[in-house]
Structures are given as C-alpha cells and as structure tokens.
C-alpha cells in the first residue's frame, strides 16, 4: 500500500499600506509616502520596529508594490528582520486615470454621475482614462498565481494596496469582481491565506472558514490547479 503524501503548506499574508500623505483620495499610481501615523499603523500590525515581541510574525520573504507607501515600509522591515525583499510592479494600485489625486468630494462636485456608475459597477464603468478593471485583475492575479504556485512551504508577506488586496480576496473567496468595493480592507490591515498543495485530497476549492467580518461564508471553485487548496485564515 502506497504511503499517503503529506501536503505542503505555505502562508501568504496580505498587508495594506498605512495612512498616506494627502489624506483619502483616488491615489492610484501617485507615489505619495506614508504619514508618521501610517508608519505607526504598519509597525503596530507587524510588531514594533525594535523587535522583541513574542507574537511578531516571521516571514521568509517580502514581496511589495514598488510605490513608496508600500515599498518604504517593506525595505525597513526587510532590513530590520533580515528578510529577502522583492518588488513586483504588478502589485501596484489601479490607475485611476483622470481621477488620480482627487477626493470623492471633488468628484461629487465635478463628475458625480460617473463616480456613481463606478461605485455601482466598476467593471463596466472604469474611471475616465483609467485602467480597465479586468486588465487590473489580470495583472494582479498573474502575480498572485506565481506566489500561490511556489509550493515551498514557506511564509510570504505581500505589501500592497486596497484594490490589489480586494482583487486577490475576490479570487480566493469566489466573489464577483464587480463587487470588490464591498470588501473592507482598512489601512495596515493584515489578511492571512493558507495554500495547501501536493497532498491527497487537495482539490481546487476555496475554504473560507469563519471570515464573517469580510464576507458571509462562501465557497467556490478556483483555478490554481487540481491539487491545490486555498483558504482565507479566520481572524
């Protein structure tokens, strides 16, 4: 009788950047840095910069968006903890086109109808001159697919943006892309995803567990491969 094959498990944590200089706005590809509070928020999530906390997660590698509000903190954490760091441009935020740098209040005054259409259905109504949501999804999921298929049993920290993390969560949860704006991804929030591969009984399904704070329970087929299981780790 053949011995059972134990699945390999890796964990991928998704960390959104903290508060950014200039306040809440459609920032997209603008390269604004973190505020002092933004730095504090991110250190509070991963552990104090001086180290020494027993509950500080330990990662084998960090992959970050190249934009300063993500990459600056990623470099600081990498240097402090001695963690391998790489930048991936596919993890940059959605390009908001003509809306870059504007607040929701600005757009309510100047382009309320277009803003309402975007909020109702961002797939069908992208920002004027901006990146189509399906193209955004394609580049983000290309990066995600590479991470999920690494199959090394290690732990990776991804530092990115609200839009990027929502696209990944939609994929993991089997949630419609057009409703990604319903997902709550706050500043410096951390979401853990467990990927099992190679073992017996690992099917291409998503187990959401008890993550009711993000969405009601959901389970849906996905496409990582016939022997891969991906699940959102309940908080």
pLDDT value at 215 more than 50: no
CA distance 215 to 232: 11
Tokens describing residue 50: 């001086």
The runs of H, that is alpha helices, within the chain are 36-46, 68-81, 104-110, 112-120, 133-148, 162-173
Q: Token match 């996905």: residue?
A: 222
* 150-187 exposure pattern, b = at least 16 Cβ within 10 A, e = fewer: ebeeebbbbbbbbbbbbbbbbbbbebeeeebeebebeb
pLDDT value at 163 more than 50: yes
Tokens describing residue 114: 């277009």
- The domain over range 8-93+132-232 is classified in CATH as 3.40.50.450: no
pLDDT value at 8 more than 90: no
Q: pLDDT-based confidence at 56, cuts 50/70/90?
A: low
Q: pLDDT-based confidence at 233, cuts 50/70/90?
A: confident
Question: Would you list the domain boundaries of the chain?
Answer: 8-93+132-232
Quote the pLDDT of residue 6: 63
Q: Summarize the confidence of residues 22-44 as an average pLDDT.
A: 95
CA atoms lying within 13 Å on the CB side of residue 212: 1
pTM, two decimal places: 0.83
pLDDT digits (tens, 9 = 90+) for 75-119: 999 999 999 999 999 999 999 999 999 999 999 999 999 999 999
């Amino acid at each position: 009788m053949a011995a059972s094959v134990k699945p390999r498990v890796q964990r991928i944590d998704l960390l959104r950047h903290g508060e950014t200089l200039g306040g809440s706005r459609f920032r997209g590809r603008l390269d604004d840095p973190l505020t002092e509070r933004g730095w504090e928020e991110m250190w509070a999530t991963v552990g104090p910069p001086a180290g020494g906390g027993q509950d500080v997660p330990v990662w084998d590698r960090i992959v970050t968006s190249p934009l300063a509000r993500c990459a600056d903190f990623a470099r600081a954490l990498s240097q402090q903890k001695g963690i391998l760091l790489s930048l991936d441009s596919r993890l940059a935020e959605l390009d908001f086109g003509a809306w870059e740098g504007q607040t929701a209040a600005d757009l309510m005054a100047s382009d309320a109808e277009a803003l309402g259409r975007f909020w109702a259905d961002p797939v069908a109504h992208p920002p004027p001159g901006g990146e189509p949501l399906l193209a955004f999804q394609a580049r983000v999921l290309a990066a995600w697919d590479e991470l999920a298929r690494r199959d090394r049993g290690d732990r990776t920290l991804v530092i990115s943006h609200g839009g990027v993390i929502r696209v990944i969560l939609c994929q993991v949860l089997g949630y419609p892309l057009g409703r990604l704006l319903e997902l709550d991804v706050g500043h410096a929030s951390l979401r853990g995803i467990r990927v099992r591969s190679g073992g017996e009984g690992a099917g291409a399904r998503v187990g959401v567990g008890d993550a009711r704070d993000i969405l009601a329970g959901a389970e849906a087929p996905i496409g990582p491969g016939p022997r891969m299981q991906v699940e959102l780790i309940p908080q």
